[in-house]
């Protein structure tokens, strides 16, 4: 896995993302590296992976068995504090412009999620979102003195048909 990660990072850096593809060793088009090419690759990429904290983690817990290592990895990487943010997958059904400023528009909106729950949103963005468009919305619940409970939007990402299927 480490070699695969290093190869991918090295390939992106030297060739660019547009030249990434997946091919199996079982396919005739697959060209295996010669030992010399592989050794050169290792030498050229030694700086990519070892800078991560993974080596320190493995060294610190080297006495653990593999299953214990996995548990320790989860324990050390768990985020300790709770997250107040919400993630809503919903369709924009209503938008009301509150204010237009140079390059920004503040608005209230209503989004209906998959369970048909209506959420009131408050956001400021460069442009108004499209009605009847599906979005992934990340925000936090707020009690507004005039509007009641709303979701203050941090991100509002349009969903394509592909991401809708993947997120189901």
> Average pLDDT in the 75-104 region?
90
What does the pLDDT read at residue 168?
A: 53
> Average pLDDT in the 37-42 region?
78
What does the pLDDT read at residue 127?
A: 92
Can you tell me whether residue 57 is helix, strand or coil? helix
The residue among 41 and 116 whose pLDDT is bigger is 116
pLDDT in tens, 113-129: 999 999 999 999 999 99
Q: Select the highest-mean-pLDDT range: 44-58, 68-82, 111-125.
A: 111-125
pTM > 0.85: no
Distances (CA, A) of 155 to 41, 121, 136: 40, 11, 8
The residue among 135 and 35 whose pLDDT is bigger is 135
The answer, yes or no, to whether residue 15 has pLDDT greater than 70, is yes
Of all residues in the chain, what percent carry a pLDDT higher than 70?
A: 80
What does the pLDDT read at residue 78?
A: 84
Q: What angle do CA 16, 20, 25 make, to 5 degrees?
A: 140
Helices H / strands E in the chain, number of each: 5, 5
Q: Which domains does the chain have, with CATH numbers?
A: 2-77 (no CATH), 85-166 (2.40.50.140)
What does the pLDDT read at residue 1?
A: 54
Can you tell me whether residue 142 is helix, strand or coil? strand
> Average pLDDT in the 142-147 region?
88
> Average pLDDT in the 45-61 region?
76
Of all residues in the chain, what percent carry a pLDDT higher than 90?
A: 46
């Amino acid at each position: 896995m480490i070699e695969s990660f290093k190869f991918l990072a090295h390939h992106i850096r030297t060739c660019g993302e547009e030249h990434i593809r997946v091919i199996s060793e079982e396919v005739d088009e697959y060209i295996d590296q010669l030992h010399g090419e592989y050794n050169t690759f290792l030498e050229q990429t030694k700086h990519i992976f070892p800078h991560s904290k993974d080596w320190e983690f493995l060294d610190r817990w080297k006495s653990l068995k593999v299953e214990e290592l996995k548990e320790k990895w989860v324990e050390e990487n768990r985020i300790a504090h709770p997250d107040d943010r919400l993630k809503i997958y919903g369709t924009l059904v209503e938008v009301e412009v509150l204010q237009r400023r140079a390059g920004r528009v503040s608005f209230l909106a209503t989004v209906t999620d998959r369970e048909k729950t209506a959420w009131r949103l408050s956001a400021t963005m460069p442009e108004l979102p499209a009605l009847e468009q599906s979005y992934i919305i990340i925000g936090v619940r707020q009690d507004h003195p005039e509007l009641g409970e709303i979701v203050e939007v941090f991100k509002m990402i349009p969903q394509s048909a592909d991401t809708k299927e993947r997120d189901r």
